[in-house]
Chains A and B, each alone.
Chain A
Amino acid sequence: MRNEPRRRADYLGLREALGDRLLPVLVAAMSFLAALAMAGALASATLATRWQGDAASQLTIQVPQPTAPDASGKAPRLDSVMAALKTMPDVADEQVMSPQDVTALISPWLGADPAQLGLPLPGVISARWVGAAPPDALGPTLEKLSPGTLVQTGALWASRVAALTTSLQACAAAILIIVALVAAAVVAVATRSGLAQRRETITLIHALGALDDDIAGRFAARITLLTLAGAAAGAVLALPVLAWLGALAAPFAGPAQINDVFNLPPALMFALPGLPIIAAAIGWGTAQLTVRGWLRSLP
């Protein structure tokens, strides 16, 4: 017999009432946006970690009167400070900036030839702090060798980068929440449309003894399938865009990653496959709530 053994017969006609075009396309768009927002949040976190590390470890040491004798009177101050820095295991890449570099550094404020102004220029040393603890004791140590020596760290810039990163991640989280809410709203509207189209059928099934669980379950199963497919398509479509954005951001991410095909945060490669699952869960939950709420109008 042609029709008899169809336990999962679509007696609610949901294949027609919940078509496989509009809802998956809308969910795909939501998934695409969510993928971009997730990528933004994860990329900003990754870059911020690197930038914060770079900024926080940068040391700038100003030595006034660099050629004057140091506190012991045995060596010029600049040489004395450099010698001390070389003995410190937590300091690396120490380098005296050339007078040309110092002139270039201050030229925005003092002009191209500050020597004409007769101002005494300090000696400037750039270095990198590689210690685990903050370089708080460095300034006083150098001060004893060369009075007036000033040590500046990148902590201020690091805190600004951290604030920027936090705000970017908050924006991304807000976008994700909005996308999830819009996706839930889209599913709710599609479900209510399906309910309106199948009102007579559902009323009959209900009268024949269908449980709310049965009816809501059938709607939820159909919606889950559609949202899963739509979100998967959206995530796949986002991949080339993310790869392109990753390539654009490669110079900021460090030379090691410039040649990677997918220059994306590893966490994103794990999170992207989760998007369809999250979308399906939103679809399932929203459909269940919508249908059960609607069924309460029946006796």
Chain B
Amino acid sequence: MVKFEDVWLKYRHPARQGDAAPEALRGISFEIPEGGFRWLIGPSGAGKTSLLKLIYLAEHPAKGRIDILGTEAAKISRRDAALLRRRIGVVYQDFRLLPQLSAYDNVALPMRLARRNETQIHADVTEILRWVGLENRLHARPDELSGGEQQRIAVARAVVARPKLLVADEPTGNLDDEQAHRLMHLITALNRLGTTVVVATHNMGLVEGWPAPRLTIEHGKLTHAE
């Protein structure tokens, strides 16, 4: 379950945002039930990525209350926040793969951080890499992969640990139609298994093709919530 109550976000780093940086998000309130699916749509710069950062605990809100998977984010210790992050899968817009690791090791990373055993890791990582069509690129490093392949590795890394919440920022941005549809099949399959999903996208064709409730954001404000 994801619940926002009158959430505001203002970036704290003056060097990056300027001393008088305006609020990136203003008065956001919505709720996604456990196992729900939401499209997050809006024009570029509207605040989609900022909203996702709050969901995957990469930023603290200036005010307001955020509950993630039944936990009030502001009230947990750093250790518990880290453990909560392990239950959240994130697909970043810019992939964020570690350049010194192979595709296999990048995908295995969340499981290794969670101290799963290597037998389990091997089984799950090879399965998910086969699912995203990269079973032959296990040893390739990110700079040896195309943009689409990197994106699929990023998706595989986000879902390999079977997260309870999946947050995806433009996950199909570098994929062709076939791969995009394959990816959406994977995401909806996870959703059917109980994973709560939030997908931010510009691709209205994708939204139309996979009907689901929408959160629409413009100028840092939620203008429409289903």
Contacts and interface: CB of A to CB of B under 8 A. Distances in A.
Interface in A200-233: 200-201, 204-212, 214
A10 interface: yes
B101 A209 contact: no
Nearest to B112: A7
Interface stretch (B28-36, B79-87, B173-181, B190-198): B79-87
A211 B96 CA distance: 19
Contacts of A13: 98, 100
B102 A3 contact: yes
Contacts of A204: 96, 98
B36 to A, nearest CB: 22
A299 B57 contact: yes
B118 A2 contact: no
A190 B84 CA distance: 31
Contact of B85 (A2, A6, A11, A208): A208
B86 to A, nearest CB: 3
Given A204-B98, A299-B59, A11 B78 contact: no
A9 interface: yes
Main secondary structure of the interface of A (DSSP, over half): loop
Nearest to A200: B96
B138 interface: yes
Contacts, number: 73
Interface string B129-157: 00000000011000000000000000000
A4 interface: yes
B139 A2 contact: yes
A150 to B, nearest CB: 77
Contact of A205 (B60, B113, B114, B118): B113
Given A200-B96, A299-B60, A3 B85 contact: no
Interface in B61-93: 78-79, 81-86, 90
B39 interface: no
Nearest to A298: B58
A286 B139 CA distance: 36
Contacts of A212: 78-79, 82
A209 B110 contact: yes
Nearest to A295: B78
Nearest to A6: B105
Contacts of B139: 2-3
B56 interface: yes
Main secondary structure of the interface of B (DSSP, over half): helix
Given A9-B112, A11-B109, A214-B113, A207 B104 contact: no
Nearest to A9: B105
B220 to A, nearest CB: 19
Interface string A169-196: 0000000000000000000000000000
A5 interface: yes
A182 B101 CA distance: 35
B85 A209 contact: yes
Given A209-B83, A211-B82, A4 B100 contact: no
A3 B125 CA distance: 12
B110 A208 contact: yes
A299 B59 CA distance: 6
Given A13-B100, A208-B86, A299-B58, A3 B105 contact: yes
Contact of A209 (B82, B108, B121, B138): B82
A3 B138 contact: yes
B122 interface: yes
Contacts of B78: 212
A79 B50 CA distance: 105
B16 to A, nearest CB: 12
The 3 closest A-B pairs by CB, nearest first: A209-B86, A209-B85, A13-B100
15 contacts: A1-B104, A2-B139, A3-B102, A6-B105, A9-B112, A11-B112, A206-B82, A207-B56, A207-B57, A208-B90, A208-B113, A209-B83, A209-B86, A211-B79, A211-B82
Given A1-B138, A200-B96, A208-B113, 11 more contacts: A3-B102, A7-B118, A9-B101, A11-B112, A13-B98, A13-B100, A205-B113, A211-B79, A211-B82, A214-B113, A299-B60
